[in-house]
């Protein structure tokens, strides 16, 4: 039986993946930190839960013992001043993970990344799997550093290094989508005017592609995960909010949105709370992105459940 470790298993996407895999013929090691996994997962005989701290390598050894595949979701989001902590929580913590993975002879490490690491990309000039991008946001720069570490370690220690560059995942239960609907329901959702093209993937297809990356043989390298739709962020938010009977997002000048983000960050810093919006989120959000999904379709997901979000409105 293949043994798969999921970091960030109590988080949004990591939790969805764990739920989808709980009845498969695999053993899951679910790694958590402050937040626990759902009770139904802890009751499964093929699931073990480990409380770890990525800052402390010694907490990882038991969780990675006899593990075949690691799927790495864990990270810190929704916190003020991400430029101060992301070099540690992304790059340094991932370095710790890779060090222990090598010691424990893990065969495959999968990093959940995103196409922004190549900078702006479009349908005409899609992101195609390079490590020489020059992204502007700290989230994208530190994730690119993680990818560089991953492939350096993979080449040196001969394990299968995999990066899944995932477009925006949509569907009910996805935190960013649910938050957007909440703000729209209260007439508070705003978006900048300049069209921003985005590459989407349903939560169902994202889970299917990630499972395939974990269990299919001979998987290595960079895969862009996205559907066949071509749309802007503005069109997407307009459609899903109206579908739920909420108000379309206001079109706002960028300075106004940045001011709101700075206010959220200040409140988060003073009261040590989560910040639903940061300046760096705005920077990364304003960059158009579209990935070349040919490798995904050939090796991971030949058939999508939903070709575009308009085919998947039931998921909202």
Query: Strand 221-225 vs strand 160-166: parallel, antiparallel, or unpaired?
Result: parallel
pLDDT at position 78, please?
A: 61
pLDDT at position 267, please?
A: 79
With beta carbons less than 8 A apart as the criterion, state whether 90 and 146 touch: yes
pLDDT at position 81, please?
A: 67
pLDDT at position 76, please?
A: 63
pLDDT at position 194, please?
A: 95
With CA atoms as reference, report the closest residue to 120 among 286, 289, 233, 283: 289
Q: At what angle do helices 175-185 and 233-243 cross, to 10 degrees?
A: 70
With beta carbons less than 8 A apart as the criterion, state whether 131 and 110 touch: no
Backbone angles phi, psi at 204, to 5 degrees: -65, -50
In whole angstroms, give the CA distance from residue 46 to residue 24.
9
3-state secondary structure the chain: CEEEEEECCCCHHHHHHHHHHCCCCEEEEEEECCCCCCHHHHCCCCEEEEECCCCCHHHCCCCCCCCCEEEECCCCCCCCCHHHHHHHHHHHHHHHHHHHHHHCCCCEEEEEECHHHHCCCCCCCCECCCCCCCCCCHHHHHHHHHHHHHHHHHHHHCCEEEEEEECEEECCCCHHHHHHHHHHHCCCCEEECCCCEECEEEHHHHHHHHHHHHHCCCCCEEEEECCCCCEEHHHHHHHHHHHCCCCCCEEECHHHHHHHHHHHHHHHHHHCCCCCCCHHHHHHHCCCCCECCHHHHHHHCCCCCCCCHHHHHHHC
Per-residue pLDDT in tens (0 to 9) along the chain, 316 residues: 899 999 999 999 999 999 999 999 999 999 999 889 999 999 999 999 999 999 999 999 999 999 999 999 977 666 656 677 778 888 999 999 999 999 999 999 999 999 999 999 999 999 999 999 999 898 899 999 999 999 999 999 999 999 999 999 999 999 889 989 999 999 999 999 999 999 999 999 999 999 999 999 999 999 999 999 999 999 999 999 999 999 999 999 999 999 988 888 787 777 777 777 788 889 999 999 999 999 999 999 999 999 999 999 999 9
pTM score over 0.85 = yes
- Classified by CATH at the fold level, domain 2-167+200-225+290-307 comes out as Rossmann fold (3.40.50)
CB atoms within 10 A of CB 145: 19
Q: At what angle do helices 138-157 and 93-103 cross, to 10 degrees?
A: 20
In whole angstroms, give the CA distance from residue 217 to residue 315.
31
In whole angstroms, give the CA distance from residue 284 to residue 142.
12
Tokens of 120: 């702006």
In whole angstroms, give the CA distance from residue 173 to residue 315.
9
pLDDT at position 200, please?
A: 98
In whole angstroms, give the CA distance from residue 241 to residue 177.
10
pLDDT at position 83, please?
A: 72
């Amino acid at each position: 039986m293949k043994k798969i470790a999921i970091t960030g298993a109590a988080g949004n996407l990591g939790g969805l993946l764990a739920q989808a895999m709980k009845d498969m013929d695999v053993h899951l090691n679910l790694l958590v930190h402050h937040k626990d996994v759902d009770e139904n997962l802890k009751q499964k005989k093929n699931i073990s839960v480990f409380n770890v701290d990525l800052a402390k390598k010694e907490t990882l050894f038991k969780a990675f013992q006899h593990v075949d595949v690691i799927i790495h979701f864990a990270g810190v989001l929704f916190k003020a001043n991400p430029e101060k902590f992301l070099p540690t929580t992304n790059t340094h913590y991932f370095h710790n993970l890779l060090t222990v993975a090598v010691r424990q002879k893990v065969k495959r490490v999968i990093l959940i990344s995103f196409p922004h690491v190549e900078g702006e990309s479009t349908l005409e000039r899609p992101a195609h799997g390079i490590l020489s991008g020059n992204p502007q946001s700290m989230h994208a720069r530190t994730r690119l550093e993680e990818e560089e570490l991953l492939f350096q370690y993979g080449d040196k220690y001969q394990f299968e290094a995999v990066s899944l560059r995932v477009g925006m995942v949509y569907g009910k239960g996805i935190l960013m989508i649910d938050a957007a609907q909440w703000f729209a329901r209260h007439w508070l959702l705003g978006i900048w005017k300049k069209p921003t093209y985005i590459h989407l993937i349903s939560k169902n297809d994202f889970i299917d592609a990630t499972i395939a990356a974990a269990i299919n043989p001979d998987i290595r390298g960079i895969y862009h995960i996205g559907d066949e739709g071509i749309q802007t962020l503005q069109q997407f938010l307009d459609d899903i909010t109206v579908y739920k009977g909420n108000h379309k997002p206001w079109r706002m000048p960028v300075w106004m949105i940045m001011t709101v983000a700075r206010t959220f960050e200040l409140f988060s810093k003073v009261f040590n709370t989560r910040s639903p919006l940061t300046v760096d989120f705005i920077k990364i959000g304003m960059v158009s992105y579209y990935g070349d999904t040919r490798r995904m379709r050939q090796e991971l997901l030949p058939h999508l459940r939903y070709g575009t979000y308009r085919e998947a409105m039931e998921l909202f």
